[in-house]
Structure 1
Amino acid sequence: MNQETLESELAGLALGELCYLDRIGSTNSFAADWVAQAAPHLSLVVADEQTDGRGRAGRKWFTPPGSGLAFSLILHADELNIADTAKTSLFAGLGAVAVCQAFQQYGLTAQIKWPNDVLLFERKVAGVLAQLSWTGKIPSALILGIGINIATTAVPPEDWAGHHTHPFPATSMEKELGQPVERIGLLRTVLEAVLEWLPRWETEAFLEIWRQRLAMRGAWVQIVNHLGDESYLEGQIIDLSEDGSLIIRLRSGEQTSVQVGDIHLRLVDRSSK
């Protein structure tokens, strides 16, 4: 993949400017700097290798050269009526839905582990990071970063920090398919799905698609902080709210919603409870 290939293969999509990089720390960080330099709406940055990719709560995302997709799409806040952080989680969901929709073209049925992980056969294959860029106290853009493990070399090595302890170990598309996947073709398919859903990001139709892909629905989970040292809520996953929050049922039977933050979900074994 290179700049020329990117421009040729994505021709016809309603995108802004395109930027291909052989190597970058983080595509989201690059995109944030690009926003400050007046990048047009729907501008896209794609990197072959990402050395400091990030997920939520500062978690790392492993992207060796030639092994996966690492890209960020710039969405102008005024184009999409993004006034604050309240519904940012909807865009993480939108990115995850787009990845799931693209995977269908390859015969793969994926699920979304709320709020931003994509699973194949209960293994993490992709992640989404939605971040706001600000001008003073006003959001100027939302940066939608997506990372997808394509080749088996994209899967973190066994000695990589956090690999053993993650409840949903990593996998790759090629491992699950048993055949090669062309990166640029997958990129176009994902972007087509993103562009399809962007005008409908606040609709019930979008939420319903997300609900259909929601992993662990009906399962009991602990909601713990990003350090993993404090469980502050336990409940059963029930649904999604209109702002993308997770609705859970507590032991008391009461329902409550959980906002996206520096938290993650941990499955609970209730067979003996």
Structure 2
Amino acid sequence: MNKLILKLLIDANGEFVSGQKISDELGITRAAIWKRMNKLKEMGFEIESVTKKGYKLVSYPDFMNNDLIETGIDLKKIGSKVITMETVESTNDFAKQIARDEQDGTIVISEEQTRGKGRRGRFFYSGSKEGIYISFILKPQIEPSKASFLTSIAAAALAKTLDELNVEVGIKWPNDVLIDGKKICGILTEMSADVESVEYIILGMGINIKGESFPKEIKDIATSLKIQGYNIGRLELLWRFLPIFEELYLSFVDGDKSEILKILKEYSCILGKEIYIHYQDKVEKGKAIDITKDGTLLVEFENKEVKELNSGEISIRWES
């Protein structure tokens, strides 16, 4: 019942919801509504009540626990089980340890990571209660070669979520989510599979929300929503993100990438621009011209040769 009440308040987008509407839609008395609202307030939700207007959700609590997270989600697959912790070395490493015994869609969230991981073994800064540090345990029936596309799905879902919250956001192919040219999120996919099938995939995300500073080695390339002037709660962002991610993920599992590709192109900050492609020991200049149906980047090089680039092969810097 708490979930249903919160959904009505969230869907109202900051407007009042009358007690009569809540009573009619949920089939409960005004007295029962009042008790439920007080319970939600005890959980940390700020709810304004005005006679003859009803109830309005003003703010969300800013801490992560199972009850809070589960109160705001009602999904088919994602969040089928929620595991929360105060601190962990890495949510991805923890998720890998339990993945075989957990159900598809389980999520692991920690308030802090002491050894957060990025791509190519890089360290991902994860300040306590400053962001969302989450790993998904996924068990899709797909070919292992298609697993890397999940990073693009996560980037697309986050970009769409932030846009709905009026945040100006871009995606640097394949999976960097940027605000004002700086990275707001790290995404890392790890997999256990044989030649033909996936046993499990761990999709990890670190989203910078409340942080006001970063270590000197990344302060010029990383940012947070707070630094960029956006006051968005962690729980609010998580609740909005999970349904969008699930919708795109389930479409992908069913073989439909159309909406994902549309988002990747719409929010791309490199398509149509001159870019530098950094290989192991060399740099080539080209123009990003398209993202293919398989999620690869189509690049036209200075010699007019057109190539498809796969995720993980390169790093990219683009000209202003």
| TM-score normalised by length of structure 2 | 0.73
Q: What's the CA shift string for 1:146-189, capped at 9, x where partnerless? A: 11110133x4222xx3545xxxx11111222343x211111111
Q: What's the CA shift string for 1:19-65, capped at 9, x where partnerless? A: 001111111111111212x2101100011001111121112211111
Distance in 2 (CA, whole Å) between partners of 1:233 and 1:139 is 34
Larger RCO of the pair (alpha carbons < 8 Å, separation 6+): 1
Any stretches of 5+ residues in structure 1 without a counterpart?
Answer: none
Larger radius of gyration: 2
Aligned to 1:107, which of 133, 146, 166?
Answer: 166
- Structure 1 residue aligned with 2:51: none
Aligned to 1:58, which of 111, 117, 121?
Answer: 121
Say if 2:268 is the partner of 1:205.
Answer: no
Corresponding residue SS for 1:200: helix
Distance in 2 (CA, whole Å) between partners of 1:58 and 1:215 is 25
Corresponding residue SS for 2:223: coil
Distance in 1 (CA, whole Å) between partners of 2:99 and 2:229 is 37
Quote the offset at 1:199 in angstroms.
Answer: 2.4
Identity among equivalent positions (%) equals: 27
- Structure 1 residue aligned with 2:227: 175
Residues 115 and 123 in structure 2, CA contact (< 8 A), matched pair in contact too: yes
- Structure 2 residue aligned with 1:238: 289
Residues 143 and 196 in structure 2, CA contact (< 8 A), matched pair in contact too: no
**Pair 104,268 (structure 1): closer, same or farther in 2 beyond 3 Å:** closer
Distance in 2 (CA, whole Å) between partners of 1:242 and 1:193 is 20
Corresponding residue SS for 1:215: coil
Say if 2:86 is the partner of 1:22.
Answer: yes
Distance in 2 (CA, whole Å) between partners of 1:28 and 1:132 is 11
Return the letter of the residue paired with 2:94: F
Residues 56 and 262 in structure 1, CA contact (< 8 A), matched pair in contact too: no
Corresponding residue SS for 1:207: helix
Corresponding residue SS for 2:144: coil
- Structure 1 residue aligned with 2:183: 124
Residues 116 and 129 in structure 1, CA contact (< 8 A), matched pair in contact too: no
Residues 89 and 244 in structure 1, CA contact (< 8 A), matched pair in contact too: no
Question: For 1:1-273, what aligned pairs fall within 5 Å after superposition?
Answer: 1-10=64-73, 12-14=74-76, 15-36=79-100, 38-78=101-141, 82-85=142-145, 87-134=146-193, 138-153=197-212, 155-158=213-216, 161-164=217-220, 169-179=221-231, 181-201=232-252, 202-225=256-279, 230-261=281-312, 263-268=314-319
Quote the offset at 1:235 in angstroms.
Answer: 1.4
| TM-score normalised by length of structure 1 | 0.85
Quote the offset at 1:69 in angstroms.
Answer: 0.5
Deviating beyond 3 angstroms after TM superposition, the runs of 4 or more aligned structure 1 residues are 135-138, 161-164
Distance in 2 (CA, whole Å) between partners of 1:246 and 1:116 is 12
The number of residues matched between the two structures is 252
Distance in 2 (CA, whole Å) between partners of 1:218 and 1:231 is 22
Distance in 1 (CA, whole Å) between partners of 2:208 and 2:317 is 22
Residues 89 and 245 in structure 1, CA contact (< 8 A), matched pair in contact too: no
Quote the offset at 1:97 in angstroms.
Answer: 0.8
Name the Cα RMSD after superposition: 2.0
Residues 69 and 239 in structure 2, CA contact (< 8 A), matched pair in contact too: no
Corresponding residue SS for 1:191: helix
Any stretches of 5+ residues in structure 2 without a counterpart?
Answer: 1-63
If each structure's strand is expressed as a fraction of its own residues, which one has the higher value? 1
Quote the offset at 1:135 in angstroms.
Answer: 5.6
